[in-house]
Amino acid sequence: MNVSGSIDLEKYPIHQLDSTAGFELVDRFRSELETNGALIMAGFLRQSVVEECVAQLSPIIEKESFVHNREHNIYFDDHLDNVAVDASALARMHTTSLTVCGDQIASSMLWDLYQWQPMIDFIAAIVGKDRLYPMDDPLAGLNIKSFRDGDVTNWHFDRSEFTITLLLQQPISGGVFQIRQNLRSDGNPNYSGVEKLLEGKDQKVRSVHLEPGTLTVFKGKHSAHRVSPVSGSRKRIVAVFSYFDSPGVRFSDEDRIQFYGRSQVIN
């Protein structure tokens, strides 16, 4: 599998950003991301390639995943000022999924795609950065997250400005990406709005149906979001790509242990 043959470049000419089609693409996607807080690119990866990726990943997911379990509040922050620890806006929730790290799939199309310069330049253009860089961390830069029956990523705000995901497999049911756009801002944590969301009373929650092969660019710092609980025997599988403004970004050993259960690189 080579990278450029894996992407639908007719629909998404990301290798020709200097062409008229490339300019139009970036223009359209930038405003879509600005308006919706999310950019959904269905059919980014060809269907046959999606299936090959899942076939390659499945045995690794089954045998070599790290089980990530976490208790957290929506802010991913246990030290908020001026709020009682038992406030319902700070309700604690459970998040569980399986993680495979980049170093476990170093010989894969997904690893090559993560490092592919046209891909990096495309993402930078969409999110309005002059340049972006892949992480200098074979564990953290590319992750495969899998959700078994009952697994969930509960409501949270992201710490990073944007997140890139590529959906590879949908479960039989559940595993729906849900967004409440602009629920907080830099100056306003909006505890009352968060309470309403967690009580299931926020009418502005949007459920986004994604097909395997969809690339998503999402701005989650101010928009609360979750992946609803998966049910059934087929896992939800998604690749997560992390890019930064500066080169050389890597996890500390403590971060690696917390997120992956190990600090050493495999191979």
Binding site for Fe ion (CB under 5 A): 158, 220
Closer Cβ to Fe ion, 15 or 221, answer by number: 221
Tokens coding 250 = 């890597």
Measured from the CB of residue 48, what is the shortest distance to Fe ion in angstroms? 29
Distance between alpha carbon 263 and the CA centroid of its chain, in Å?
A: 22
Closer Cβ to Fe ion, 118 or 220, answer by number: 220
Strand partners, 236: 147
Closer Cβ to Fe ion, 32 or 158, answer by number: 158
Sign of CA dihedral 121, 163, 20, 1: positive
Closer Cβ to Fe ion, 15 or 72, answer by number: 72
Distance CA 155, CA 202 (A): 13
Closer Cβ to Fe ion, 158 or 202, answer by number: 158
Secondary structure percentages of the chain, helix, strand, coil, to 5: 30, 25, 45
Measured from the CB of residue 183, what is the shortest distance to Fe ion in angstroms? 13
Which residue minimizes CB distance to Fe ion?
158
Measured from the CB of residue 30, what is the shortest distance to Fe ion in angstroms? 21
Dihedral of CA atoms 61, 166, 6, 105 in degrees, nearest 10, equals: -30
Measured from the CB of residue 218, what is the shortest distance to Fe ion in angstroms? 7
Measured from the CB of residue 111, what is the shortest distance to Fe ion in angstroms? 22
Question: In this structure, are residues 114 and 102 in contact, taking their beta carbons and an 8 Å threshold?
Answer: yes
Distance CA 148, CA 155 (A): 18
Distance CA 208, CA 226 (A): 11
Closer Cβ to Fe ion, 116 or 157, answer by number: 157
In terms of residues, how long is the chain? 267
Measured from the CB of residue 157, what is the shortest distance to Fe ion in angstroms? 8
